[in-house]
Amino acid sequence: MHAAPGREDHPVITARQLAEADGILFGFPTRFGMMAAQMKAFFDSTGGLWQEQSLAGKPAGVFFATGTQGGGQETTALTAVTQLTHHGMLFVPVGYTHGAGMFAMDEVKGGSPYGAGTFASADGSRMPSDAELALAAHQGKYFAGIAQKLKAV
């Protein structure tokens, strides 16, 4: 499906390992305004976890990369929520908690209140900008704080 080959320095988990997590931030590329088919196939492999309710109550969030500015970062997040909902997971958006950086219009940048994002270019050659990386770091810290609070309950 024209995906780049896997890299040995990127760890790969199984669906079963999701049950061990206190919370999960799912990151994936978009394809025509939705998660890539490979990610959907991964979610499709979680049927046993769904049946056991192993992911119910776990916080989950999303971040993404699109090839173009019109690549569907928000629609990708919205369609991903259906996967989380079927598992009973708690969607944790970043919202506008990153402050003024969310409103700056001085540069092209990915991301939204649904999650951090980057525009990778159609050929994948564009690296995330400092603003995109700052939102991603904020989302990670924000999400971890929520997951920690939920675990303590």
List the domain boundaries for the chain.
21-151
Q: Which residues contact 148 (CB under 8 A, 6 or more apart)?
A: 22
Residue 112 near residue 77 (C-beta atoms within 8 A): yes
The pair phi, psi for residue 34, each rounded to 5°, is -140, 170
34-38, 51-55, 84-88: lowest mean pLDDT where?
34-38
pLDDT score at 70 = 80
Which pair of tokens denotes residue 72? Answer: 């569907």
pLDDT score at 3 = 65
Mean pLDDT calculated for residue range 34-52: 95
CATH of the domain spanning 21-151: 3.40.50.360
Q: In the chain, what's the furthest Cα-to-Cα distance?
A: 48
Indicate whether 135 pLDDT > 90: yes
- How much is the mean pLDDT over the chain? 92
pLDDT score at 4 = 67
Is the pTM value of this prediction over 0.85?
A: yes
Please state the separation of Cα 13 from the chain's center in Å.
15
Mean pLDDT calculated for residue range 50-78: 93
Mean pLDDT calculated for residue range 93-107: 91
136/138 Cα distance (integer angstroms): 5
Length of the chain equals: 153
122: confidence class by pLDDT, cuts 50, 70, 90: confident
Mean pLDDT calculated for residue range 112-135: 93
Q: What beta strand segments (E) does the chain contain?
A: 24-31, 34-35, 59-66, 90-91, 117-119
